[in-house]
């Protein structure tokens, strides 16, 4: 992938430990705002804390491993923090104790994942019929074209990822799902988020706390009210247990490291805290199918950005790279989705979606022309040490929505493409099937709460074991990334050494094997590939993407489509 940043080292704080509560001063405004602050490299902890206090902030928690603090302060804090030599800057998080609206939960989805729900029309009707159980394979394995594409079944004859811990940095994981529970590590799982009722403009985000099942904004570490994280976890490590499907690494441990809101936003503090937690707790692989809000692309000096916005984006880049470096050095393989914007990340772009979250009243997205692709970075996908994964459909073509770029994409993996059909018409079965939380399926009208009957064409049930479990078809680079993460888990299982957590292998070695074992896939001929989609409303959509590079690497597939069998030996 394209390397944009110099690897930052953690500041010399002289202490160990994470998330230490510390008071350093008092906020100066009636309405407090929460900020994430990055300490400048070389600054002592004492001088950085003093700088926070002098700027009018109060430290409420501190990640000492990477020199990042959570601070509450008044509105003038960010400018003062940016001016301090002891601080890199401050990224505004949200207003503390925002007013809760009398409104239903917002259905907003993170842009990296939005195509996954694009085709849900709400039409009634049964989903695809499940194939009859076979002597070998799970009941729904016949619907898993994705596992065949990467030779997962052949790999699982000799390697299934036992002793490997995979961290799911996502919207949560339904630890009670029958096809996740056997591999779910409840002891290590953590929720690093707190539900946000509204944004600064009063728009609903996660919805009122009192509407939660427990009446609280604090969700347990085995809950997923979005479905995205459960789907990702299932693709990686659903067990071979006679239920539903199997994952790429069916004996790996699933560790929920929740960093995403119910609404699909992913913010800075949960991400950095989850990465340092992963480093301390023997997590071998983490999957990151998202970008850090509120900026799709973080620019440090874009002329359209205010000084405060420039400082915020600099803080996001600095804090995330430090956390990623910290985890990478401690053996955590970092895998991320390439994004669903259908753009070439190595070419000039226009970002009209940022900032996508209002952290102060009146804040709205605005247009920025990014003429120099090297000057702005999407985190974590474009960070140093991260494996960027593009998506493929059943025919192995790059999915129509998948972003790409020669030098940006490292490998490709199945992500689904509902229009990868002979006629270019929609077929849900061309997407990726994985676990679907039952409660969410009921809330979304996908199943009848009384009978358990599937009511939509994008969901499937398996009741062969006596207890029904549910699955949904999704598509996106969010679905591609966990396939690569699953293969990475198999690599750790095959070649790793035993340690306190089970198995361990350096992240650099895992990446080397993952890329070298990928099935080489050349650019299409002609390289200007045109996608034709016949949409359900009768219209036709066309788009043309240009693949640069040779057989491998190239802009569509990187070093190739991941191959589980080749990765663990034939």
DSSP symbols for 448-469: -TTT--B-STTEEEE-TTSS-E
Indicate if the pLDDT at residue 96 is higher than 50: no
Q: Is the peptide bond before 526 cis (omega within 30 degrees of 0)?
A: yes
Residue range 26-46: mean pLDDT, rounded: 78
Identify the H or E element spanning 257.
strand 253-258
Q: State the Cα–Cα distance between residues 462 and 77, nearest whole angstrom.
A: 54
Of residues 228, 302, 483, 545, which has the active-site annotation?
228
Please provide the distance, in angstroms rounded to a whole number, between the alpha carbons at the two ends of the chain.
Answer: 28
Give the tokens for residue 184. Answer: 């779910």
Q: State the Cα–Cα distance between residues 31 and 14, nearest whole angstrom.
A: 34
Condensed to tens digits (0 to 9), the pLDDT of residues 66-79 reads 999 999 998 889 99
Give the tokens for residue 234. Answer: 């299932």
Would you list the domain boundaries of the chain? 116-188+214-522+549-567
Between residues 29 and 408, which one has the greater pLDDT?
408
Q: Which residues face 136 on adjacent strands?
A: none
Condensed to tens digits (0 to 9), the pLDDT of residues 470-508 reads 999 999 999 999 999 999 999 999 999 998 878 999 999
Q: What are the C-alpha distances in Å from 553 to residues 82, 334, 344, 521, 547? A: 40, 20, 15, 8, 11
Residue 161 DSSP symbol = -
Indicate if the pLDDT at residue 3 is higher than 60: no
Q: How confident is the model at residue 125 (pLDDT cuts 50, 70, 90)?
A: very low
Q: With contact defined as beta carbons under 8 Å apart, do 432 and 484 qualify? A: no
Identify the H or E element spanning 266.
none
Give the tokens for residue 362. Answer: 């009146």
Between residues 10 and 295, which one has the greater pLDDT?
295
Give the tokens for residue 324. Answer: 């990623």
Quickly count: other Cβ atoms within 10 Å of residue 127's Cβ: 23
Q: Tell me if residue 228 is catalytic.
A: yes
Superfamily holding 116-188+214-522+549-567: Peptidase S8/S53 domain (3.40.50.200)
pLDDT score, position 29: 40
pLDDT score, position 214: 75
Q: State the Cα–Cα distance between residues 84 and 255, nearest whole angstrom.
A: 38
Give the tokens for residue 320. Answer: 């995330």
Q: State the Cα–Cα distance between residues 81 and 58, nearest whole angstrom.
A: 12
Residue 472 DSSP symbol = E
Q: State the Cα–Cα distance between residues 400 and 416, nearest whole angstrom.
A: 10
Q: Tell me if residue 141 is catalytic.
A: no
Quickly count: other Cβ atoms within 10 Å of residue 546's Cβ: 16
Indicate if the pLDDT at residue 83 is higher than 50: yes
Residue range 516-528: mean pLDDT, rounded: 97
Q: State the Cα–Cα distance between residues 407 and 144, nearest whole angstrom.
A: 30
Q: How confident is the model at residue 31 (pLDDT cuts 50, 70, 90)?
A: low
Condensed to tens digits (0 to 9), the pLDDT of residues 523-538 reads 999 999 999 999 999 9
pLDDT score, position 100: 30
| Buried residues in 192-201 as b, exposed as e (16+ CB within 10 A) | bbebbbbbbe
Q: How confident is the model at residue 95 (pLDDT cuts 50, 70, 90)?
A: low
pLDDT score, position 32: 81
Of 32, 35, 40, nearest to 8 (Cα)?
Answer: 40
Residue range 300-317: mean pLDDT, rounded: 96
Residue 3 DSSP symbol = -
Q: How confident is the model at residue 282 (pLDDT cuts 50, 70, 90)?
A: very high
pLDDT score, position 22: 32
Question: What percentage of the chain reaches a pLDDT higher than 90?
Answer: 81
pLDDT score, position 550: 84
The mean-pLDDT minimum among 100-109, 179-188, 321-330 falls in 100-109
Q: State the Cα–Cα distance between residues 387 and 336, nearest whole angstrom.
A: 6
Condensed to tens digits (0 to 9), the pLDDT of residues 207-252 reads 998 888 778 899 999 999 999 999 999 999 999 999 999 999 999 9
pTM of the model: 0.90
Q: Tell me if residue 44 is catalytic.
A: no
Indicate if the pLDDT at residue 15 is higher than 80: no
The mean-pLDDT minimum among 91-95, 250-254, 279-283, 521-525 falls in 91-95
Quickly count: other Cβ atoms within 10 Å of residue 343's Cβ: 18
Indicate if the pLDDT at residue 113 is higher than 80: no
Give the tokens for residue 100. Answer: 């809760």
pLDDT score, position 215: 84
Indicate if the pLDDT at residue 19 is higher than 50: no
Contacts of 407 (CB under 8 A, 6+ apart): 1, 2, 346, 553, 555
Q: How confident is the model at residue 360 (pLDDT cuts 50, 70, 90)?
A: confident
Of residues 111, 170, 309, 559, which has the active-site annotation?
170
Q: With contact defined as beta carbons under 8 Å apart, do 59 and 22 qualify? A: yes
Identify the H or E element spanning 359.
none
Q: What are the C-alpha distances in Å from 268 to residues 13, 77, 246, 299? A: 21, 18, 32, 15
392 by DSSP, 3-state: which? strand
Q: What are the C-alpha distances in Å from 541 to residues 114, 120, 390, 545? A: 18, 18, 21, 13
Of residues 43, 84, 234, 478, which has the active-site annotation?
478
- What's the mean pLDDT when you consider all of the chain? 88
Indicate if the pLDDT at residue 59 is higher than 60: yes
439 by DSSP, 3-state: which? helix
Q: How confident is the model at residue 570 (pLDDT cuts 50, 70, 90)?
A: low
pLDDT score, position 115: 46
Residue range 20-24: mean pLDDT, rounded: 32
């Amino acid at each position: 992938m394209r390397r944009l940043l110099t690897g930052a080292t953690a500041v010399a704080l002289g202490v160990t430990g994470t998330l230490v509560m510390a008071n350093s001063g008092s906020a100066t405004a009636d309405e407090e705002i929460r900020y994430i602050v990055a300490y400048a490299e070389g600054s002592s902890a004492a001088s950085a804390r003093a700088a926070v206090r002098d700027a009018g902030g109060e430290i409420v928690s501190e990640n000492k491993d990477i020199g990042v603090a959570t601070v509450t302060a008044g509105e003038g804090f960010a400018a003062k923090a940016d001016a301090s030599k002891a601080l890199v800057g401050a990224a505004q998080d949200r207003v503390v104790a925002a007013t809760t609206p009398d409104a239903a939960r917002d259905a907003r989805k993170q842009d990296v994942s939005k195509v996954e729900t694009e085709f849900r029309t709400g039409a009634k009707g049964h989903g695809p019929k499940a194939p009859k159980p076979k002597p070998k394979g799970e009941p729904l394995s016949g619907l898993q074209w994705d596992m065949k594409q990467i030779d997962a079944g052949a790999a699982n004859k000799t390697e299934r990822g036992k002793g490997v811990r995979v961290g799911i940095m996502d919207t949560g994981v339904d630890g009670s799902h029958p096809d996740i529970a056997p591999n779910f590590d409840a002891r290590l799982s953590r929720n690093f988020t707190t539900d946000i009722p509204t944004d600064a403009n009063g728009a609903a985000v996660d919805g009122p706390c009192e509407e939660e099942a427990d009446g609280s904004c604090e969700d347990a570490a085995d809950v997923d009210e979005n479905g995205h994280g459960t789907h990702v976890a299932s693709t990686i490590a659903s067990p071979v247990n006679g239920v539903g499907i199997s994952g790429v690494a069916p004996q790996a441990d699933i560790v929920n490291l929740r960093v995403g809101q119910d609404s699909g936003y992913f913010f800075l503090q949960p991400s950095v805290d989850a990465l340092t937690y992963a480093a301390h707790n023997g997590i071998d692989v983490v999957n990151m199918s998202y970008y850090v809000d509120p900026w799709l692309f973080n620019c440090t000096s874009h002329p359209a950005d205010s000084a405060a916005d420039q400082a915020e984006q600099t803080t996001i880049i600095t804090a995330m790279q430090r956390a990623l470096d910290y985890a990478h050095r401690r053996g955590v393989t970092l895998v991320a989705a390439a994004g669903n914007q259908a753009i070439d990340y190595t070419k000039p772009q226009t970002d009209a979606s940022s900032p996508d979250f209002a952290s102060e009243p009146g804040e709205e997205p605005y247009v920025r022309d990014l003429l120099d692709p090297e000057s702005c970075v999407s985190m974590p996908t474009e960070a140093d040490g991260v494996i960027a994964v593009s998506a493929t459909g059943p025919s192995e073509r790059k999915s129509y929505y998948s972003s790409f770029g020669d030098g940006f994409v490292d490998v490709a993996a199945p992500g689904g493409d509902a229009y990868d059909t002979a006629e270019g018409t929609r077929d849900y079965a061309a997407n990726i099937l994985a676990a679907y939380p039952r409660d969410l399926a009921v809330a979304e009208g996908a199943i009848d709460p009384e009978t358990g009957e599937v009511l939509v064409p994008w969901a499937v049930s398996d009741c062969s074991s006596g207890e029904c479990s549910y699955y949904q078809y999704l598509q996106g680079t969010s679905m591609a990334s966990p396939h690569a993460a699953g293969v990475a888990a198999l690599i750790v299982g095959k070649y790793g050494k035993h340690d306190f957590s089970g198995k361990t292998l350096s992240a650099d070695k895992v990446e080397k094997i993952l890329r070298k074992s990928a099935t080489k896939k050349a650019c299409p001929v002609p390289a200007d590939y045109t996608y034709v989609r016949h949409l359900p409303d009768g219209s036709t959509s066309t788009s043309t993407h240009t693949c640069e590079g040779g057989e491998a690497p190239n802009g569509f597939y990187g070093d190739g489509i991941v191959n589980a069998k080749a990765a663990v030996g034939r």
